[in-house]
Structure 1
Amino acid sequence: MVDFTELAHGTGGAPVVHRLRKTERSRRLLLLRAVTDIAAKKSDLPGPLPDPEQAWELLSRVQGVAPDALDLVLAHPYTGSWLGYTSRLLHRQIAGVCPLWVHVGHIHAIAAAAAIRAKLSFSTEIPVWSGNAALPGLGVAKLGGDELHSVAKVRCDRSRREIRGETSAVELPTDLSSDAPGWWGVRQVTLRAAAKTLTLRLDDVDPYRGSYDPILPQRLPAAEVREWAVLLDEAWQLITRCLPQEAEALQAGFDSVVPRALMPFRTSSASSGEAFGSAIVARPTDPATLAAMLIHEFHHNRLSGLLHLVCLHTDDPAERFYTPWRDDPRPLGGVFQGVYAFFGVAAFWRALTRDDGYQLRLLAEFEFAYWRAATWRVLRVLQNDPELTDDGRLFLGGVADLVGSWQQEEVSAVVAAAAAAAATDHYAGWRLRHLRPDPAAVVALADAWCSGKTRPPLGRIEDGLPTPVPDGRWRHARLDLVRLAITDHRRLARSWSTVPDATPADFAYADGRIPAAVQGYLAELAEDPESPAAWAGLGLALAKSDAAAGHALLRCPELVRAVHRAVRARGVPCPPDRLSAWIGWLDAGGQPGE
């Protein structure tokens, strides 16, 4: 119960993480045995490879002479993702990206990797995919060949370690983390800050490192590895300085990053509930953003580990929740994960606002203000959901204790206003794309507008359930530009056009030129009257000069656009700003997240 409470309060440090990793080891060992047993009952599952029982026997040998080597392969994040993926295939009796025997046969690659670590003499066979023979946690042999799927023999003794395919062979180097002819090792970076050291793998070769399906090796150029090393080291400095207990937790349980290409003005990361200790990260441009991404994903890791022990909610698949961190409606499980992950993000930026060594204080304040409000907004809805278990409510209560206490902490007025507007912007865009207004209300309003009448009373407008099918495309340029303006307003004029999807109207809004922004969004809507981003942008801009118009566009933007669409179809003039002011103050239903 102590561990449960510590995790709920974001203080699950190294001891808690060690215990989570032990439970993950036990779970994976059970799944490994289950895969072996299923394969033993179906003679066709091993394909051209040996029976998985032989891999189990090799793992038993490793356990006898070098149990630490077995622990390393069981703790390897992608042993977990392989087990989850392959177990689902076996349960559904379907093939995956590769033939089923390739996925089942990966157990031989795991056993071979463990035996190499244990320095055993052995011989076995492993699957080959497009010429790649992977040894999890160690690297991949590049065997080539024309066959999409084939078999390679791994032979190790005191004098030689070799992987031999149908047409070529690769001798493994002494240092398996380095590259050699025909061999790509798993690179490592060691991060040091004060007395805290963290060694991470930059894994670009393991076939089960992806979020969903297996993927082939995608070798990172050496120059990018150096960029990653510098950025990770700087991020580690920030984490150890601002959240020392989080740093200790990362030391205990986080060991692998799957690198993706640089994405200016974007943050993209992911993790799997089965790959404890790993994150897939698109390289950001600054260390603070990377630090927040690592903390975000490790919060997912820890919650996933807890969910393997405790049921916190039912398996409700309905996509019914609004979340400020996603553009689509989300199911219960995803929202629960998101709340906990962004709780960690808000905690990091909060700590960074108090760090005298961090230069971009206003940016840290903005991120803290934005993510504390986002997490709190969704948390208040989630806490009352009937699909939570008693343990789930108790857990979220612990999160709420902290997140709720942060809501009144002071940030600068300019930053607070910018964060609130950014949140309003995203929610208006979500409503435009995923809520459908009452058709009767649309017709009544369109009839009144076309007849030149005042807006008829509609009473309280209740929101229906969201649809996962979006009505239009969203763009994130305004949020990017606001961050840019807060970080360095002088840079905004020079760089706004490099922000993906940014328009002159977005630039005017971020630059504080509100009349120009209004005219810019009206021009955009004249060209594309369906654009969700232009409607939401117009609402933000009008809210500063025409409260009634802004209210309509930000509270019920989907209704305003639908009426505009209906009136337009009748050939009647309908300027968006005038229509919004005419609709004015509506009594909208309770917004999700409020």
Structure 2
Amino acid sequence: MFDLLMDALSPLDGVTGRLPGAQRAWDLLAAAQRRDPAAVEELLLLPETGLWLTRLLTRLRSNGPADTPLWAEAGHLHTLAAVAAARAGLTFSFPVPALQEKVWLPTLGLARLPSAHRHRNVWTVAEVRSVHGRITLVGAYGQLRLPSVPEHPSSGWLPQRRSPLVAGAARRIPLDDLGHHRIAPMPDGAAERLTHSAYGSWSRLLQESYALLAAMDPPTADAAAVLLRSLQPMSAHERFRVRSVSSGHGVGGLASSVPDTAPLCAATLAHELQHSKLSALMHLYPLHEPAPPGAPQRLYYAPWRDDPRPLGGMLQGAYAFTAVARFWSACAARLAGPDGGLAAFESALWLGRLTEVVPALATDPALTAAGRDALQALHGAVVRLHGRTGEGAEVTLARRMAADHRATWRAAHVRPHPDDLAVLSAAWCAGRKRPPALPPRPHPEIRESGARHLDARAMLVRVRLADPAALDKMRDSQGDHVPGLAGAGPADVLWACAEFTASWRLYSQEIRNAPAGPATWTGLGLALADAGRSPEAVRALTVMPELVAGVHSAVREISSRTPDPTALADWLGQGGTGPSGSC
């Protein structure tokens, strides 16, 4: 990749602006490599280096607009060279980019030089001077000498903090809370220093989760010990909804909100490390052929996402969640109490979904030979794990939540054929006792709808298993939205609290009063099933909820009357109709 970068930069005059040419930076980096190869290797293998390199190469090819000036973006090469040379103990002076007189030195920390700038995104040049590894930074308004031990903080200097996976171990994972090159963009565009308390929480979580992985899932623990290279903390999120992301261009790095518990943190590590491993593999061996230009991509149902996904995204998700399921399966067999119940739920949920999804992916004609082999191996692993799934209340809940998510996804993204809606709505308005049969439609239209938080009821089940008192507080709260859980409504909480008749009535009222979202329709089906009412309606709302919602809307349009949603679902479920095709 660096060869590609030098080839791209060499013919461009002035691309580095007020900085020396790229070849000067390269020469300094090469001198550092001769003195201290390990230090240079660490810098070049940083996930943030891969992210920067990919983005710069993309920018050089497309020449599109960007917030960072091109010379400052290209100048990160100068920063890497200066850090490598300083760590190698060389004596030199070299200019680097500075943002508001702040200089980020990868693996070392953030220097804040005296500044007269009050606005963001003011890029200037600072000088890195090093005498046998002792660093001084010189800016336009003053200078800063770093401590002799850069890990120690001082005025104007924030060292990069690191956490060991095992207490006292030599290898420590950087907690990258200050660097410029983010896996996930920050909401305000700038990273912020973790508080001492937040850093301590992350450090404890990493050690506890690694110990849990070592006990429950040694292969993932081994991968973490070798592959995990940095963690970029993200802002806090909802309980059980950990936001995490990795990038194929920054292998070994992940960004994550702080998980509530060590098991959740361990599952997050398992998930993102799988993404990194598969990304590294796919750089060497493509698992599928790209779609021809202009050809529509086949979209799949992804049980772990709200939106339809193409084949590449499905491969990543299936591979990642196989490791997640393996971890939870081990926990379910060895943990007791609420932790064991939650682990049993998670294991059964993901394994049930994977046994459905992986075989469907294996039939995609775009797979390469390597892709088919990988999916065959993955399917074998899933089948073996699924064979260990027992029975119990948590497993039953997991199966129901898997069906609920799929039904809600259908209601959100599958579009019934307009002719089917016209025929069925006319038959309902004409008072026919049974719906007419519809022609088979094996390939439904799947369209991204923007619907989000389709897993809200599964999140409520997790709260119910882990902390029933918290669920009671949600039930007692007032308003149309449930605090702390996006996508959930009062009817969902009533269902989770086993107040099935009350939830059925509230779902029905919501449908009558206003256009209802997809989760309201499928929630009605869940409540009807648990209240022991109308198996025909339950079938329709589980198998073809998009058809029930579509006919309901069509009837309202042509008759100016709002049909009872349960009665309509019961009518559609009596036979003669079927789902609008599989997906």
Q: CA deviation at 1:197?
A: 7.2
Output the CA distance in 1 between the equivalents of 2:535 and 2:440.
Answer: 19
Q: Please state how far the C-alpha of 1:358 moved relative to its aligned partner.
A: 7.8
Q: Does the 8 A contact of 1:256 with 1:277 survive in 2? A: yes
Contact 2:214 2:221 in 1 (8 A): yes
Runs of 4+ in 1 over 4 A off after TM superposition: 195-198, 212-215, 356-359, 472-475
Partner of 2:40: 70
Relative to structure 1, the CA distance from residue 280 to residue 89 in structure 2 (aligned partners, 3 Å threshold; closer, same or farther) is: same
- Using the alignment, how far apart are the partners of 1:212 and 1:274 within structure 2? 15
Distance 2:320 2:170 in 1: 24
Select 2:252's aligned residue among 277, 281, 287: 277
2:182 paired residue among 209, 217, 222: 209
1:557 aligns with 2:548: no
TM-score, normalised relative to structure 2: 0.91
Task: Verify: 1:392 aligned to 2:371, yes or no.
Answer: yes
Runs (5+) with no aligned partner, structure 1? 1-30
| Counterpart Cα distance in 1 of 2:308 and 2:581 | 16
1:535 corresponds in structure 2 to 521
Q: CA deviation at 1:39?
A: 1.5
1:359 deviates by 5.7
In structure 2, what residue type is equivalent to 1:259?
A: P
Cα distance in 1, alignment partners of residues 147 and 341 from structure 2: 49
Residue 324 of structure 1: SS of its match in structure 2?
Answer: coil
Deviation of 1:107 after TM superposition, in Å, equals 0.3
CA distance in 2, matches of 1:289, 1:245: 17
Matched residue type, 1:81: L
2:209 corresponds, among 231, 235, 239, to 235
Check conservation: 2:183, 2:245, Cα contact below 8 A: no
Q: For 2:284, what is the secondary structure of its paired residue?
A: coil
1:370 aligns with 2:349: yes
DSSP 3-state at the match of 1:360? helix
Q: Does 1:507 align with 2:507?
A: no
C-alpha deviation, 1:430, in angstroms: 1.3
- 1:99/1:543 CA distance change after superposition, 3 Å: same
Aligned partner of 1:268 in structure 2 is 243
Task: Report the alpha carbon displacement of residue 255 of structure 1 after superposing the two structures with TM.
Answer: 2.3
CA drift of 1:499 comes to 3.6
Aligned with 2:149 (options 164, 175, 182): 175
Contact 2:512 2:562 in 1 (8 A): no
Confirm or deny: 8 A CA contact 1:435 1:463 kept in the other structure.
no
What is the aligned counterpart of 2:226 among 234, 240, 252?
252
Mapping for residues 46-57 of structure 1, pairs under 5 Å: 46-57=16-27
Q: Determine the structure 2 residue equivalent to 1:588.
A: 579
- TM-score with structure 1 setting the length: 0.90
- Structure 1 position 583, deviation (Å): 0.7
1:38-187 correspondence to structure 2 within 5 Å: 38-143=8-113, 144-146=115-117, 148-158=122-132, 160-187=134-161
1:170 shift after superposition: 2.0
Q: Residues 313-392 of structure 1: matches in 2 within 5 Å?
A: 313-316=288-291, 318=297, 320-356=299-335, 360-392=339-371
Find the residue that maps to 1:251 and give its secondary structure.
helix
Contact 1:383 1:396 in 2 (8 A): yes
Number of residue pairs matched by the alignment: 560
Deviation at 1:264, TM superposition (A): 2.8
- Partner of 2:571: helix, strand, or coil? helix
Contact 2:417 2:580 in 1 (8 A): no
Q: Which residue of 2 aligns with 1:5?
A: none
1:74-103, CA deviations, whole angstroms, 9 ceiling, x for partnerless residues?
111111111111111112123433111111
CA 303–145 in structure 1, closer or farther in 2 if over 3 Å, else same: farther
Any idea what the Cα deviations from partners look like across 1:494-516, whole Å, max 9, x if unmatched?
34554424322111211222211
Q: Residues 485-524 of structure 1: matches in 2 within 5 Å?
A: 485-496=464-475, 497=477, 498-501=483-486, 502-524=488-510
Structure 1 residue 575 corresponds to structure 2 residue 549: no
- Return closer, same or farther for 1:212/1:466 CA change in 2, 3 Å cut-off: farther
Whole-angstrom distance in 1 between the partners of 2:545 and 2:517: 11
SS at match of 1:79: helix
| Paired position in structure 2 for 1:191 | 165
The question of whether the paired residues in 1 share the 8 Å contact of 2:547 and 2:579 is answered with no
Task: Pick the aligned partner of 1:466 from 427, 431, 446.
Answer: 446
User: Residues 537 and 572 of structure 2 are in contact (CA less than 8 Å); yes or no, is this contact kept in structure 1?
Assistant: yes
**Are the aligned partners of 1:80 and 1:274 in contact in 2 as well (CA < 8 Å)?**
yes
Which residue number in structure 2 is paired with residue 16 of structure 1?
none
In structure 2, how many angstroms separate the alpha carbons of the residues matched to 1:433 and 1:222?
43
Q: Which amino acid aligns with 1:452?
A: G
2:399 aligned to 407, 417, 420, which one? Answer: 420
* Residue aligning to 1:7: none
C-alpha distance in 2 between matches for 1:350 and 1:196: 29
Deviations 1:108-162 (A, max 9, x none): 0111111121111111111122332111222121233427111111111138411
Is the Cα contact below 8 Å between 1:481 and 1:499 reproduced in 2? Answer: no
- For 2:431 and 2:336, the matched residues in 1 are separated by 61
On the 8 A contact 1:474/1:532 being kept in 2, the answer is no
Does the 8 Å contact 2:174/2:231 carry over to 1?
Answer: yes
Change beyond 3 A, Cα 1:357–1:97: farther
Contact preservation (8 Å) 1:473, 1:532: no
TM-superposed deviation, 1:556: 1.2
Q: For residue 448 of structure 1, what is the aligned residue in structure 2?
A: 427
Task: After superposition, give the CA deviation of every residue in 1:277-296 in whole Å (9 maximum; x if it has no partner).
Answer: 11101111111011000110
The equivalent of 2:480 in structure 1 is none
Amino acid at match of 1:206: G
Task: Give the corresponding residue for 1:222.
Answer: 196
Determine if contact 1:567/1:573 at 8 Å carries over to the other structure: yes
Shift of 1:580: 0.5
Distance 1:248 1:474 in 2: 33
Deviations 1:229-252 (A, max 9, x none): 222222112111112232122111
Q: Are the structure 2 counterparts of residues 359 and 115 from structure 1 closer, same or farther at C-alpha, using a change threshold of 3 Å?
A: farther
Closer, same or farther in 2 for the Cα pair 1:174/1:591, shift >3 Å? farther
Q: CA RMSD in A?
A: 2.1
CA distance in structure 1 between the partners assigned to 2:165 and 2:190 by the alignment = 27
1:491 shift after superposition: 4.1
Given that residues 109 and 157 in structure 2 are in contact (C-alpha distance below 8 angstroms), is that contact kept between their aligned partners in structure 1? yes
- Going from structure 1 to structure 2, the CA distance change for 1:377 and 1:129 (only over 3 Å counts) comes to farther
Instruction: Report the secondary structure of 1:176's partner residue.
Output: coil
Measure, in 1, the Cα distance between the counterparts of 2:285 and 2:50.
18
Judge conservation of contact 2:176–2:233 (CA < 8 Å) in 1: yes
Give the distance between the partners of 1:186 and 1:319, measured in 2 at CA: 44
Secondary structure in 1 aligned to 2:242? coil
Where relative contact order (Cα < 8 A, 6+ residues apart) is larger, the structure is: 1
Structure 1 pair 132–530 and aligned structure 2 pair: CA distance change class (3 A): same
Contact 2:348–2:389, Cα closer than 8 Å, also in 1: no
SS in 1 for 2:446: coil
Local SS of the residue matching 1:294: helix
Matched AA of 1:199: R
Contact 1:480 1:499 in 2 (8 A): no
> For structure 1, which segment, 277-286 or 255-264, has the greater mean C-alpha deviation from structure 2 after superposition?
255-264
- How far does the alpha carbon of each residue in 1:183-210 deviate from its partner, in whole angstroms, 9 at most, with x for none? 22111112327x9776211101111132
Tell me the distance in 2 between the aligned counterparts of 1:305 and 1:95.
29
Alpha-carbon separation, structure 2, partners of 1:464 and 1:198? 52
- Maintained 8 Å contact 1:319/1:466: no
Stretch of structure 1 that moved more, 151-160 or 62-71 = 151-160
Which residue identity does 1:558 align to in structure 2? E
| 1:346 and 1:368 in contact (8 A); partners too | yes
Percent identity at matched positions?
A: 34
2:279 maps to 1:304: yes
